[in-house]
Structure 1
Amino acid sequence: MKYQSEPYRIFCTDDAGKCVAEITFPETEAGVCCIDHTFVDDSLRGMGIAGELVSRAVQQIQANGKQVTATCSYAAHWLEKQKGSGKNV
């Protein structure tokens, strides 16, 4: 998978240019980005792509000196698991 990044979005497309995986994380207040949407096409489910998208989003948000929140249920669960494992998220 080739991940493409934009300021508040990371995504992947198939050979035809169709979006097959995506995460969005707009800045909802000064210094805070909220992961509000994670999508993985059914054909790619179970391959760890959603987790990779969240991980990349968190890295990108933190690299820009911002905090991470989530309203997307998958991302919120992922973040909680990371905190529970002692990782700094």
Structure 2
Amino acid sequence: MEFELTEKGYELFQQGKSVARIEWYVEDNVMQMTGTYTDEVLRGQGIAGKLLNEAVEYARAHDYKMKAICPYVVKKFEDSAFYNDVKI
């Protein structure tokens, strides 16, 4: 599974169609995590978590912090210390 970096975030494409994504915009070196989407046929496979982890690695590589706006990201940030170095 390979995610593609787009102007809005990371996306997973299958047969040319976007089937999963995590979206953000950067403001003052902070990634504002605005949303996640996973096509219903792919739900329950941990794809949103993989997208989030890919975004976290992107933040770390660019010395960004992350602000959770999307409810999924808020929950993940609350539930795991893995994100402590990037979340604000």
Please, which of 27, 30, 34 is the counterpart of residue 28 of structure 2? 30
Tell me how large the CA RMSD over aligned residues is: 1.8
Q: 1:41-82 deviations in whole A, cap 9, x for unaligned?
A: 000000000101111111101211111111100011111112
Contact preservation (8 Å) 1:25, 1:57: no
> Unpaired segments of 5 or more residues in structure 1?
none
- Residue 30 of structure 1 and its aligned partner are, at CA, apart by 0.7
Identity, % of aligned pairs?
Answer: 30
Contact preservation (8 Å) 1:21, 1:39: yes
Supply the distance in 1 between the matched residues of 2:35 and 2:78 (Cα, whole angstroms): 16
Q: SS state of the match for residue 63, structure 2?
A: coil
The aligned counterpart of 1:21 is 20
Q: SS state of the match for residue 74, structure 2?
A: helix
- Which ranges of 4 or more aligned residues in structure 1 deviate by more than 6 Å? none
Contact preservation (8 Å) 1:40, 1:49: yes
The aligned counterpart of 1:52 is 50
The aligned counterpart of 1:5 is 5
Q: 1:75 to 1:26 in 2, by over 3 A?
A: same
Q: TM-score scaled to structure 2, two decimals? A: 0.86
Supply the distance in 1 between the matched residues of 2:8 and 2:76 (Cα, whole angstroms): 18
- Residue 86 of structure 1 and its aligned partner are, at CA, apart by 8.4
Contact preservation (8 Å) 1:25, 1:35: yes
> Unpaired segments of 5 or more residues in structure 2?
none
